[in-house]
């Protein structure tokens, strides 16, 4: 039995923050991915350029650097905007919000490519058939494209979420009380690094196993009836 020397509740609180940050960042990433993928197929040329620039540039920036830029840069931007309205106080973005924005923005670039590939995999004949029936573009997207995009994009999005879950450890550098930071606090107090870092590794492993099982369940539900339809 691992002796956590009274720091079990601290690790549990950090784990909860890690899960919340992962879910919030993934929600942002999926929204940005959907917007980016839609923009790449737009007839408006600047929108396609913007989407291509977003995915190309963002994927070349390390996640840690993005977190630092958002955490420190957002304060500068917000204070300049507030200064236009006469506010001269200091504005600081919370570490949790900075991590959510940074990771969501970074993984949104990857999600954009995933969603774009899923949309391209949908047979174009289905879209043409829907349009021939009189459906307008928004209705075609909602009834034909979006449900199939979800089914096709779910496996790679699940892999992105697993990677994002582990990358949440990076927000500890800006002071967020996630699992890694709370583990470091426990180590500094107990001088037992192996015990607590091993415990953190087991918690991350458990989160990964639970997430993998959840993704498998979502995939089964998303593909429900597909095998029957093929046969």
What domain count does the chain have? Answer: 1
Q: Does residue 208 have a pLDDT over 60?
A: yes
**Residue 127: Cβ within 10 Å count:** 17
Q: Which residue has tokens 């196993």? A: 209
pLDDT at 65: 94
**1, part of any domain:** no
Q: Which CATH number belongs to the domain containing residue 201 in this structure?
A: 1.10.3720.10
Q: DSSP for 122-183, please give it.
A: S-HHHHHHHHHTT--HHHHIIIIIHHHHHHHHHHHHHHHHHHHHHHGGGGGGGT--SHHHHH
| 110/231: higher pLDDT | 110
Task: Tell me the pLDDT band of 228, cut-offs 50, 70 and 90.
Answer: low
Nearest to 2 by CA among 178, 197, 223: 197
What average pLDDT does the segment 186-203 reach? Answer: 93
Q: Does residue 89 have a pLDDT over 70?
A: yes
**2, part of any domain:** no
Q: What's the domain range around 121?
A: 8-230
């Amino acid at each position: 039995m691992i002796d956590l020397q009274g720091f079990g509740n601290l690790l549990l609180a950090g784990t909860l923050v890690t899960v919340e940050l992962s879910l919030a960042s993934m929600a942002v990433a999926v929204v940005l991915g959907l917007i980016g993928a839609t923009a790449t197929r737009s007839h408006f040329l600047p929108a396609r350029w913007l989407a291509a620039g977003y995915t190309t540039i963002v994927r070349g920036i390390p996640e840690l650097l993005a977190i630092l830029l958002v955490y420190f840069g957002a304060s500068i931007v917000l204070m300049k905007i507030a200064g236009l309205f006469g506010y001269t106080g200091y504005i600081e973005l919370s570490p949790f919000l900075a991590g959510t924005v940074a990771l969501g923005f970074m993984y949104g670039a990857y999600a954009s490519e995933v969603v774009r590939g899923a949309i391209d995999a949908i047979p174009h004949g289905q879209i043409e058939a829907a349009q021939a029936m009189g459906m307008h573009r928004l209705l075609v997207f909602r009834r034909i494209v979006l449900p199939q995009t979800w089914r096709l994009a779910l496996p790679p999005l699940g892999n992105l979420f697993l990677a994002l879950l582990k990358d949440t450890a990076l927000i500890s550098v800006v002071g967020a009380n996630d699992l890694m930071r709370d583990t470091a606090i426990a180590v500094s107090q107990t001088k037992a690094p192996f015990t607590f870092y091993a415990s953190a590794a087991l918690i991350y492993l458990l989160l990964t196993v639970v997430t993998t099982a959840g993704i498998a369940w979502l995939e089964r539900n998303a593909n429900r009836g597909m095998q029957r339809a093929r046969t």
